């Protein structure tokens, strides 16, 4: 899905009035809400998410500085809940970029000329699609051409294995338990005076 706008900030990705949910799910229906819907809730037919040819898209093609603005993690939650697995842009806001990895969304960075070429190809070809291979760090275009990208090895491993901060910690559960048991005799508990 091509979103041909620069400086898309997190309040545009998920407007503030929808941040009342306390779980990570349910935000997809509000993704780009102000751009997608009229004030009465009817879809804006000219917005890319509402166009039938992009229905079910898993890759969002964007312009520079995607995810700028406030550091709300909800923006990534909304993208993931809507169904996006990968983002492709020339640059991202730092906090947004890090939040992507923490929430299982792959933010791929490609140079501006390559991004512009992809936008041109998407516009010209109705059935244009990309295949992202995180293992090989490649993007395959319909014509068979592969574009390479680089992801930090640790982050790549976490995405491939579905590891988040909590599951990374539980990988060391035995060591944590041993450490806690070792400290137990030295812990003093004061109960009331």
Q: What domains can be seen in the chain, in order of their start residue?
A: 2-186 (3.20.19.10)
Q: How far apart are CA 182 and CA 176, in angstroms?
A: 10
- Inform me whether the pLDDT recorded for 127 exceeds 80: yes
H helix and E strand count, the chain: 8, 7
pTM: 0.86
Q: How far apart are CA 139 and CA 158, in angstroms?
A: 19
- Inform me whether the pLDDT recorded for 92 exceeds 70: yes
CA distances from 120 to 64, 84, 115, 183 (A): 16, 21, 9, 62
Beta strands, E only, the chain: 2-3, 59-62, 86-89, 106-109, 131-133, 138-140, 146-148
140-158, pLDDT tens digit by residue? 999 999 999 999 999 999 9
Q: Please, which pLDDT band fits residue 190 given cuts at 50, 70 and 90?
A: low
């Amino acid at each position: 899905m091509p979103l041909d706008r620069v400086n898309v900030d997190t309040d545009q990705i998920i407007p503030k009035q929808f941040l009342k949910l306390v779980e990570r799910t349910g935000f997809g229906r509000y993704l780009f809400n102000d751009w997608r819907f009229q004030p009465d809730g009817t879809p804006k037919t000219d917005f890319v998410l509402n166009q039938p040819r992009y229905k079910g898209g898993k890759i969002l093609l964007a312009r520079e500085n995607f995810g700028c603005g406030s550091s709300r993690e909800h923006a990534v939650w909304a993208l993931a809940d809507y169904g996006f697995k990968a983002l492709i842009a020339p640059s991202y806001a730092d906090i947004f970029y890090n939040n992507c990895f923490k929430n299982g969304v792959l933010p791929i960075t490609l140079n501006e000329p390559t991004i512009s070429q992809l936008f041109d190809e998407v516009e010209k070809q109705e059935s244009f699609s990309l295949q992202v291979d995180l293992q090989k760090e490649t993007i395959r275009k319909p014509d068979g051409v592969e574009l390479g990208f680089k992801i930090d090895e640790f982050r790549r491993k976490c995405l491939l294995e579905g590891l988040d901060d909590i599951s990374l910690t539980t990988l060391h559960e035995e060591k944590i338990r041993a450490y806690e048991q070792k400290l137990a005799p030295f812990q003093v508990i004061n109960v009331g005076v």
